[in-house]
Amino acid sequence: MVFRIHHRTAYRYAAPVSLSRQLLHLAPREVVRQHCLEHELHIEPAPSRRVDDSDVFGNPLTRLEFDRPHVELTITAQTRVRVTPRAEPVDAERSPAWEDVVEQLAYRAGAAPTDTVLQATRFRFESPYVRVKSVLADYARASFAPRRPLLAAATALMNTINSEFTYDPKATQIATPLLEVFASRRGVCQDFAHLMLACLRSLGLSARYVSGYLRTSHAAGRARLVGADASHAWVSLYCPLTGWVDFDPTNRVIADSAHVTVAWGRDFGDVSPLRGVILGGGAHELDVAVSVVPETP
């Protein structure tokens, strides 16, 4: 499947911005089963400096600098990406027991981990938006019964979050504390991803935050996924032998060809589509529009 992605972000400021520095995570990264065919940025006003780089997690990153006064900033990303479905469905019941994976990820003095395990442990600990708490481990243990296969347990946790939490765009902001989301049982895809991450990490597992997109239109008879027409977020869980497996708690699915990966990190703060600092500007209005359309139905 080849998708055309249009992502437009527009800021309108009440007063001129004299200086601006912006970080963009808008270009999809190269991963298994995904290849970026085209990616263009259209920026108004033109930046005084642009650097295309990669961040500490290997995600494509664009740095922009503006040193001339402006009252509007519009950044439009136009992308074509090819996504290939999994050759075989994930066999959750054949994955290792989750306790064995926790043991493999645990630190042991004098024992050097493999490179794969070492990289996975980067996503095992608390981060600014993801808390490691006993109350979240307790919540997860209803799904993580003793000796249950890891991916089967993670699927059960994903289903529980989807069933017990309500998708409500007005309930939270990105700064809403995770424990407040847990108490209210309401939020959006970022909240559900952060919650599932917190539950998994509280058990000692490695899981990373994935930002990306969902296809906007679907074939007749197929349900439309929640979170289309905006940037989306889900969870990727490390499983030995199988590798990283992506879970979308907002839609209760294991991510496949309908999901386009842009970047991954510890949480939203590492991979937000656009963030920066400005001098001046005063109040501002933000408008974001996203479409993800397959080239063929």
138 φψ region: left (φ > 0), alpha (ψ -120 to 50), beta (else): alpha
State pLDDT tens for residues 221-267. Answer: 455 554 446 789 999 999 998 999 999 999 999 998 899 999 999 99
pLDDT of residue 297: 61
Instruction: Give the residue from 169, 163, 177, 91 showing the smallest Cα distance to 131.
Output: 177
State pLDDT tens for residues 90-113. Answer: 889 999 999 999 999 998 887 888
The CA distance from 35 to 29, in Å, is 8
CATH classification of the domain holding 69: 2.60.40.2250
Asked whether residue 238 falls in the same domain as residue 290, the answer is no
Asked whether residue 147 falls in the same domain as residue 211, the answer is yes
Asked whether residue 10 falls in the same domain as residue 147, the answer is no
Structural domain that includes position 141: 92-271
State pLDDT tens for residues 113-165. Answer: 899 999 999 999 999 999 999 999 999 999 999 999 999 999 999 999 999 99
Contact 96, 241 (CB under 8 A): yes
Please, what is the end-to-end C-alpha distance for the chain in angstroms?
9
* pLDDT band at residue 89 under the 50/70/90 scheme: confident
pLDDT of residue 219: 45
Asked whether residue 28 falls in the same domain as residue 42, the answer is yes
Q: Structural domain tally of the chain?
A: 2
* pLDDT band at residue 218 under the 50/70/90 scheme: low
Contact 186, 166 (CB under 8 A): yes
Asked whether residue 12 falls in the same domain as residue 101, the answer is no
Asked whether residue 61 falls in the same domain as residue 134, the answer is no
Asked whether residue 43 falls in the same domain as residue 175, the answer is no
Asked whether residue 238 falls in the same domain as residue 193, the answer is yes
pLDDT of residue 117: 93
Torsion of CA 89, 94, 99, 105, to 10 degrees: -60
- What percent of the chain is modeled with pLDDT above 90? 83
> Is 23 strand, coil or helix?
strand
CATH classification of the domain holding 130: 3.10.620.30
Record the pTM.
0.93
The CA distance from 45 to 68, in Å, is 9
Q: If 0-12 CB within 10 Å is exposed, 13-18 middle and 19+ buried, where does residue 114 land?
A: exposed
Residue 217 has pLDDT above 60, yes or no: no
Average pLDDT along the chain: 92
